[in-house]
Amino acid sequence: METLQTQTRPGLSGTALKLAACITMLIDHIGASCIEATYGVAYRTPPQILQLDRVLRLIGRLAFPIFCFLLVEGFLHTHDVKKYIGRLFLFGLLSEVPFDMAFFKTPFHWGNQNVYWTLALGVLAMALLQKSEDADGNAAWTGRLAALACAVVAQLAGTDYGAIGVALIVALYLTRNDRRYQCIIGAGMMLFEITAPLAFVLLWFYNGERGRCPQWAKWAFYGFYPVHLTLLALVLGLVICCFAAARDGLDKTIQHTIDGSCAPGVFPLVSVPTVVGCAGALLIVVAAIATPIARTQKMRELWFYVMSGGAVLKILTMEIARLLLR
């Protein structure tokens, strides 16, 4: 009895492109969150660190065009556009606090919104265009104006990439029937970021297939954004704590307590600033671990408030104590 074997066309599948986008996005956010967000903490940033940041951000520029391309593919193949938009808006809500914590060190930063909002507005723009298309696929002026309105909303709301992000999604949708035009126009629109056009080299080799992607992996890709931002916020908090501990000579205080081989740091080991600082650091760690596994949005917000409270408690106690010692 012969067994039928399905042959996969050569090239990159949708799943492979998603993995590439997630990896490059993570690299980009390590630079943006863990390095750039600490500039105000470090008195001097070594040139090597600055160079590392540039490299990380240049690699990370590949992520957004790939996500936009896959968004268009997802829109063209979805069976329910309303649910598709709903999922993007839902994960936009779930990602907002992690986004603000990772990049702005506050639970709510109203001036900037995460990329899920940009993607959701992009899908809405495509849906409105599609609804106004005639038999030949040409969109009416009403649909074009509606898509323009989505781009304006993205810009006014301060979503990641703003109007240019929605415009790129719309452009990739309008050129969906010609991969060559997609890559040329998309690369041209992203020339303001030096390495971003290179993403279209990968997209050129897209084989049009979804690739192996079980149901759990589908939701894992959706959840990767808020989860990795939560972890980066934790890393950022630990980096800040390390800078503060190094500045105050906590390591010297511990060494002095153990064997007296060096002078103690600013605060004694058994003191209010040290105890409160350690308690605040513990709250940050526990809350950052609990946030991504919390089952409801309300509990996630609660844990982020706990994490923020721990950071504020630690910083205020340490800085007030330093002022009193002067």
* Angstrom distance (rounded) from CA 235 to CA 241: 10
pLDDT digits (tens, 9 = 90+) for 231-271: 887 776 666 666 666 666 666 666 666 666 777 777 776 77
Rounded distance between C-alpha atoms, residue 202 and residue 199, angstroms = 5
Confidence of residue 41 (pLDDT cuts 50, 70, 90): very low
The 10s digit of each residue's pLDDT in 79-132 is 999 999 999 999 999 999 889 988 887 778 889 999 999 999 999 999 999 999
Question: Tokens representing 301?
Answer: 């917000």
Contact 265, 251 (CB under 8 A): yes
Handedness of CA 24, 114, 101, 94 (dihedral sign): negative
Q: What is the pTM of this model?
A: 0.74
| pLDDT for the residue 26 | 94
Mean pLDDT of 51-79: 94
pLDDT above 70 coverage of the chain, percent: 84
**Domain spans of the chain, in order of start:** 14-213, 226-325
CA end-to-end span of the chain, whole Å? 87
